[in-house]
Chain A
Amino acid sequence: MATDTVVSTVPVPGPTRPRGRGGVPARAPRRRTLTAYLFLAPFLVLFLTFVVTPAVFGLWISLTDWSPFRDIQHFIGLQNYIDLFTPGSTTSGDFWRSMAATGIFTLASVPFLVVVPLLIAVLLNNRIRAATAFRTIFFAPYVLGVAVVGLIWGYILDTQSGILNHVLSLVGLPGEIPWLVDVPWVWVSLVGVTVWWTMGLNTVIFLAGLKGINADLYEAAALDGAGAVRSFFSVTLPGLRPVMLFITTTTVLASANMFGQSYLLTAGGPGNATRTAIMYIADQGLSQNNMAPASAMSYLLFAFLAIISIVNFRVQRERAESVTT
């Protein structure tokens, strides 16, 4: 009808039509770019200043001969990285020794940090009294800072006056074990203290994963005559696969970033044997003012961790596929 056409062509200054702030007409009713950036602005200022900028800035430093005592820094390309791969250069030997220490700690700690919490979670997942109380106790050390953990265990593990050697000699075992001053005991101590401190975290994650496994599967396994051990391997472990991927990835990263335990318990000793990569990078970059090589090291460590994470992800996914097909 003619009247309808006339009405619809008249531009209606409708009160319901949303207009963007500052007089900019909103194109679509739900597209509000200006408002969104106002909401994001406080976070983005922080994020750009202390995450994006340092990520780029650190890469730049690693490509220069940065010195805090000079005003002008020179671009030297990949020289810092090349030096790290050149045997006999000032930093390469110490750096790779620290990477080896990180590697030893990661290889030694991750199996315990995965298996012990897994077994505890399976135990706690039974119908038992005080399951919540046990869970709380196992998790409690994780809320303590590494400095507290270092103080407590520093005294327990001291060779002469430590309570552990004291207890060992009381029960007739050798009571002069150099827990914090000699290899391989330093590794036993660092791994043990780390398990004591953080096992509660993986335990509660495994527990949450176990709750998600369908109870019917256990019934079916039991009807097939599977015992506790068989149903653990044929029901529990496959059911935990996604959780397992998460836990192995985060635990490897956490162990590879170890710093406080070595710093406080062994001071990197004996003879730098337990000086981890993070410890060496922080020392070179912040105490020795060797910022350019230290930045290169941090990016190299990042690359290593990224590769390990990707490999871990691929391997576990392939295993998942080979089981389901």
Chain B
Amino acid sequence: MSTVPVLARRRPAARRVTATTALYAVLIVLALIIVLPLLWTLLTSFKTDADAVRNPYSFPSPVSLDAYQTLASGQQPILLWLWNSFAAASVQTVLILVTASMGAYALARLDFAGKKIIFGVIISTLLVPPVVFLIPNYLIVQNLGWLDTILAITVPGAAGAFGIFFLRQFFVGLPVEIEEAARIDGAGDFRIFLQVVLPLARPALATLAVLSFLNNWNDFLWPVYVLLSPENMTLQPGLAMLQGAYRTHFGIVMAGAVIASVPVLVLFAIAQRQIVDSVAGAAVKG
């Protein structure tokens, strides 16, 4: 019912087989265009410099960990960047989960003065391009003394409207009867939120956590400008530096790309369904 057979309609069997073959051929070619550059990156990261230049397409021979060893011991502290990226993405994710879930609960369930205005203002900022906030937020972060610290790349980014918008949608869809039953049992607002609503919202919170983590991990423009010293960098601006430092060393740069990609690709593999469904669902429902 949900799958619509465009090609497999009542046709002679031979034509249908041809169409199906063509369909798979196109999909496989497209998939190769996606996969081959990634595979090439992975293979190159295990090559010596000489091997990478001489045999760009072959499997690494010998399989070499030189690139990774150079990165781990080199002047570019990539392991520190990896840690900084983890720390920043985790801190911002927690910040978003706490502030957005509390705020979204109020907007979804509580009746209060000014609710419409606040919700309207929050939603309208979803439409403002981020560049508008770039310069003033830089000055604000500078005045707070946060430049070149983890605070600069975690706190301002947690103020976005997406999380509160996403969770409010979910809370509105929850049956209100469970909360009312808890209220009759004498539970206060905060206990209902903590012990009834949050456990029910676990899937939505998990999805928001994954999206927030990915978003922070991959953020580029803002960290390029607010992080200054090499030891405070995250992977994204760090990789840009790496490219300049090892311009002719294929293996090392590709190893950097692998180190930065593996965590998010693993996260994607685990939470693939939530990520895809949430980005697709937001568009179709909204």
Contacts and interface: CB of A to CB of B under 8 A. Distances in A.
B217 A145 contact: yes
Contact of B26 (A52, A123, A208, A243): A123
Chain A CB within 10 A, most for which of B115, B131, B275: B131
Contacts of A256: 129
B99 A145 contact: no
Question: What range describes how many residues of A lie at the interface?
Answer: 35 or more
B129 A215 contact: no
A37 interface: yes
Contacts of A58: 132-133, 135-136
A267 to B, nearest CB: 10
A54 interface: yes
A294 B176 CA distance: 48
A112 interface: no
A147 B237 contact: yes
Interface in B209-225: 214, 217-221, 224-225
Contact of B265 (A31, A143, A209, A287): A143
Contact of A137 (B34, B225, B236): B34
A285 B6 contact: no
Given A43-B164, A50-B140, A128-B27, A232 B6 contact: yes
Nearest to A30: B111
A130 to B, nearest CB: 9
Looking at B7, B27, B121, B161, the one whose CB has the most chain A CB atoms below 10 A away is: B27
User: In this complex, which of B9, B20, B26 has the most chain A Cβ atoms within 10 angstroms of its Cβ?
Assistant: B9
Interface residues of B, number: 106
B240 A32 contact: no
Contacts of A39: 102-103, 105-106, 110, 189, 193
Nearest to A287: B225
Interface in B245-260: 250, 253-254, 256-257, 260
A200 B103 CA distance: 32
Classify the secondary structure of B's interface with A: helix
Nearest to A34: B112
B261 to A, nearest CB: 5
A178 B113 CA distance: 61
Contacts of B35: 137
Contact of A148 (B103, B250, B257, B277): B257
B159 interface: yes
Contacts of B193: 39
Interface in A204-220: 204-205, 207-213, 215, 218
A102 to B, nearest CB: 11
A40 B107 CA distance: 8
Interface in A198-252: 201, 204-205, 207-213, 215, 218, 222, 228, 231-232, 242-243, 246-247, 250
B135 A295 contact: yes
B117 interface: no
A285 to B, nearest CB: 4
A46 B1 CA distance: 46
A299 B132 contact: yes
A156 B36 CA distance: 11
Interface string B229-247: 0000001110110110000
A196 interface: yes
Interface in A277-306: 277-278, 281-282, 285-287, 291, 294-295, 298-299, 301-302, 305-306
B280 A204 contact: yes
Contact of A128 (B23, B138, B220, B235): B23
Contact of B220 (A40, A42, A146, A154): A146
B139 A291 contact: yes
Contacts of A213: 4
B221 A205 contact: no
A42 B103 CA distance: 8
A127 to B, nearest CB: 5
A253 B129 contact: yes
13 contacts: A50-B156, A123-B23, A139-B275, A145-B235, A151-B253, A152-B38, A155-B254, A156-B40, A161-B250, A208-B280, A246-B283, A281-B134, A286-B225
Those 9 A-B pairs whose CB atoms lie nearest each other, nearest first: A145-B218, A54-B136, A43-B103, A36-B112, A208-B280, A39-B106, A46-B159, A58-B136, A50-B159
Interface of B: 1-10, 20, 23-24, 26-27, 30-31, 33-35, 37-38, 40-41, 44, 53, 56-57, 95, 98-100, 102-103, 105-107, 110-115, 118, 121-122, 125, 127-140, 155-156, 158-161, 164, 189, 193, 214, 217-221, 224-225, 235-237, 239-240, 242-243, 250, 253-254, 256-257, 260-261, 264-265, 267-268, 272, 275-277, 279-281, 283-284, 286
Given A31-B112, A253-B129, 20 more contacts: A32-B189, A39-B106, A46-B99, A57-B140, A120-B30, A122-B6, A137-B34, A137-B35, A139-B276, A143-B218, A146-B218, A147-B235, A151-B253, A163-B56, A163-B57, A204-B276, A218-B6, A256-B129, A278-B131, A281-B134
